[in-house]
Amino acid sequence: MKTTTLFGTAVLAASLFGAMPAQADGDAAAGKKVFNKCRACHEAETDKDKVGPSLMTVYGRTAGTLESYLSKYSANMKELGAGGLVWDDANLTAYLRNPKEVVPKGKMAFPGLKSDEDLANVIAYLKADPKP
């Protein structure tokens, strides 16, 4: 599948260029502040969808499968989920660094987080239950 290959290429490229250190432990409280960049379109503390899906339980979720948002996902996101994409540290790092590189025909307009520290922190925030 073309999108799965593209995703694999994106993860490989990200690892070669140093994106993967964001998998290291982050600071969830600092990540909550970073998440302010996402709040216009996403919730993380409730299951309420906005322009984008709720990210409350995104960690460990298969891409494109949140029941309340199914009719709104791009075909590209659903294809990646069907191909086995699960939102773990590595996949969230690659996607949040450059969404269009991972999901080229996705709907997310956000250009991405460039700082490894911001990436690690926002992922720690998304993983935290309950949120700080």
pLDDT tens, residue by residue, 65-98 = 999 999 999 999 999 999 999 999 999 999 999 9
The pLDDT, as a whole number, for residue 24 is 57
Alpha carbons within 13 angstroms on the beta-carbon side of residue 2 total 5
pLDDT tens, residue by residue, 11-49 = 444 443 444 444 458 999 999 999 999 999 999 999 999
**Is 94 in contact with 11 (CB distance < 8 Å)?**
yes
pLDDT tens, residue by residue, 93-123 = 999 999 999 999 999 999 999 999 999 999 9
Residue whose token pair is 């216009």? 40
Written as one string, the DSSP assignment of 61-107 is PBTT--GGGGGGS-HHHHHHHHTT-B--HHHHHHHHH-HHHHSTT-S
Q: Which domains does the chain have, with CATH numbers?
A: 2-106+116-127 (1.10.760.10)
The pLDDT, as a whole number, for residue 1 is 47
